A and B are shown apart, each in its own frame.
Chain A
Amino acid sequence: MHEHTAPGLELVKADDFKEWLVDIRVLDPNPLYQNETYRLKFTFSQQYPIEAPEVVFVRDDTHPIPWHPHVYSNGIICLDLLDRAGWTPIHNVESVCVSLQSMLTSNTKKERPEGDEHFVKYNKQRPKDINFVFHDNQV
């Protein structure tokens, strides 16, 4: 279905409607993300697209977790459009990826969210159960 993806995106695994893997690159010359490819994992519920998919970065040998003040080091992303309130069913995998690309490329700070260490250590919730507070309108 998504054979023709936007530039910088590559579908790695899309065998079913449960879990997809997508590699994304940031195309602009942002020094934070140059020459790196990040792997996103989409997990779809039966209610998709009425409900948002779960989208996290996954880390492996060749795919780091990108530095961003809204991306925790375990790959969980704090982005309003992935949240229950911010999601709308008209989004799709591609639009989410493009949003993430733009979120990364506009970032200049090589930092993690506040309280990252604590969160990564103690969070056992699924991303969609976490109540993020969306305060940053710069993204």
Chain B
Amino acid sequence: MASFDLPDSTDWLDTSLSSFEPLEAALRCQVCKEFYDTPMITLCSHTFCSLCIRRCITTDGKCPTCKKEGQTDKLMPNWVVGEIVERFVKARPAALELARRDKEEKKGTSGRKRKLDDTDLEDDEISVRSTRSRKTRTAAPAGGADMSDPIAVVNSEEEGDYVPEGMVKCPICQKAMKEEQVYMHLDSCPGQKGPGGRNTRSRTNNAFSNTFQHQSTKLSPSPTPTRLPQLNYSLLKDNALRQKLHSLGIPTWGPKQLLIRRHTEWLNLWNSNCDATHPKTKGQLLKELDVWERTQGGHAGFTEAKVMKKDFDGNKWATNNKDHFDELIANARKKRTAPTEGEEKSEEKKEGVKDAPKVIPVQYSREQPANPPTETLLIPHTERAQEPQTDTKPSVDVARPYEGNNEALAIIRKKVDEANNNSNSSSSAGPQLEGEAPSLRPSEGISNPFSSPSRKVPMFQVPEDPVIEVETKSR
């Protein structure tokens, strides 16, 4: 791709057809700024690419143009716009070239151009220009132009993805045919396994049934036109969600947040593909999901992708609260010697939740009112993610800032030693083995969350003498 030589509506401005600029702009999706790909119309009568509007809706549920809410699943195809776009894109190179030449001739700058008459131009230059790969962007709706040829043409390529120009594949049986025929054909499509069946066009099918069966075993089936439903992620446990992803055939690794984002993207890709008149195969969709994975998903390398809110600034948070994390880790390591695992976990959870509001006021100055509750809620998760040592669940993909970071580990070891020494030297505080050590370090400047007396009580404490309770549990 040579520099930024992308077709754009402003291409018309330097030509004698500058009024085509707004025309072309009107044929482009306002979200992606490309020509409409599978245009869909919303409840509020705005039109966008299917994938664009689905992504917008899964982000905030609003129409990008008018901000009207409640758009989910109320999209309808806008066939007319799709056809206009398709025709325009086909006519564009020739028209643009003519308009450019016209302008130059009017200017009288003949130096740059060969003297060619228009027919020559159409013969060579235009055919070269039309090789731009924009064809893939155009969603051609059923045009109704040429219904006179109902004979299905078989795709003889070994690669099932290839479809002759002007042809599309039946999403079920993979047979290539003119796009106008697809809907008629679907009513009688025999499916993948039974090519004889009810098909009224059995003469073609019989002849090539071997090819179909061969293809259907070799290729992953292309999407059937059934749209996938949304899931209520908050009702699903990690494993159930993982199973869902597995049954859809998409990657299942990563923490729940990533699973949710991946599933959402897959739904968008899949459902917009269902809208398309030229549906892609599942293999192609999986490739697109892989691109997403590398740019925005789990392979994108953003730590912010791994916490609850996708635009949360994980790095910033980690640096701002590093002391705090170190402290927590040091304490957790120290505690590890004494209490049972379950005890430790519940203790940690409780403290994580209680810490959150303590940290925030330090961060936000007067002009920045405290974050909304949603943002506050994620803090315990972040802290847990930053604490691989105490995270007893073997979650694979949490950020591990301390792994291999010798400097940070050294600091933590020092703090552990420090904490150990303190508790040893002041053994008069003896029986309080659990979590109390930080309170024995008044010299440290950091206000320690554990020092709050209310936290000495374990989470499920019955209202009795806390010291005795802790002792019996830790034995």
Q: B-contacting residues of A (Cβ < 8 Å)?
A: 1-4, 45-47, 49-51, 84, 88-90, 92, 113-115, 118-119, 122-126, 128-131, 133
Contact = CB atoms under 8 A, between A and B. Distances in A.
Contacts of A45: 311
* Most A Cβ at <10 Å: residue of B33, B295, B367, B368: B367
A88 B300 CA distance: 24
B4 A1 contact: yes
Where chain B touches its partner, the secondary structure class is: loop
Contacts of A51: 59, 311
Interface in B24-52: 30-33, 52
B372 interface: yes
B327 to A, nearest CB: 20
Contacts of B311: 45, 47, 51, 84, 128-129
Contact of A89 (B52, B316, B365, B372): B52
A126 to B, nearest CB: 6
B313 A129 contact: yes
Contact of A88 (B32, B67, B310, B367): B67
A53 B391 CA distance: 35
B313 A4 contact: no
Interface string B254-292: 000000000000000000000000000000000000000
A92 B33 contact: yes
A119 B30 contact: no
B52 A131 contact: no
B366 A90 contact: no
B64 A46 contact: no
Nearest to B63: A88
A103 to B, nearest CB: 19
Nearest to A52: B311
11 contacts: A4-B10, A45-B311, A46-B300, A50-B59, A84-B311, A89-B31, A89-B56, A89-B64, A90-B31, A115-B367, A123-B368
Contacts of A92: 33
Contacts of B302: 46
6 closest A-B pairs by beta carbon, nearest first, are A90-B30, A122-B365, A89-B31, A4-B10, A119-B367, A88-B64
Contacts of B363: 125
A35 to B, nearest CB: 28
Contact of A1 (B8, B32, B300, B316): B8
Q: Kindly state the interface size class of chain B when it binds its partner.
A: 20 to 34
Interface of B: 4, 6, 8, 10, 13, 30-33, 52, 55-56, 59, 62, 64-65, 67, 295-296, 300, 302, 310-311, 313, 316, 320, 363, 365-369, 371-372
A126 B316 contact: yes
Nearest to B8: A1
A126 B316 CA distance: 9
A49 B371 contact: no
A81 B278 CA distance: 36
B316 A118 contact: no
Nearest to A5: B10
B313 A126 contact: yes
Given A125-B316, A128-B311, A90 B64 contact: yes
B33 A123 contact: no
A1 B8 CA distance: 6
A118 B30 contact: no
B365 A123 contact: yes
A115 B366 contact: yes
Contacts of B67: 88
Contacts of B4: 1
A43 to B, nearest CB: 13
A123 B33 CA distance: 35
B450 to A, nearest CB: 26
Most B CB contacts (10 A, CB to CB) among A1, A92, A128 go to A1
A1 B6 contact: yes
A84 B316 CA distance: 19
Contacts of A113: 367
A102 B244 CA distance: 49
Nearest to B21: A4
B368 A131 contact: yes
Contacts of B59: 50-51
Contacts of B65: 88, 90
B421 to A, nearest CB: 34
A46 B305 CA distance: 11
Contacts of B10: 1-4
A84 B67 CA distance: 13
A92 B296 CA distance: 20
| Highest count of chain B CB atoms <10 Å: which of A3, A128, A129, A133 | A129
A124 B367 contact: no
Contacts of B367: 113-115, 118-119, 123
Given A4-B10, A118-B366, A125-B313, A50 B56 contact: yes
Nearest to A2: B10
B136 to A, nearest CB: 19
Contacts of A126: 313, 316
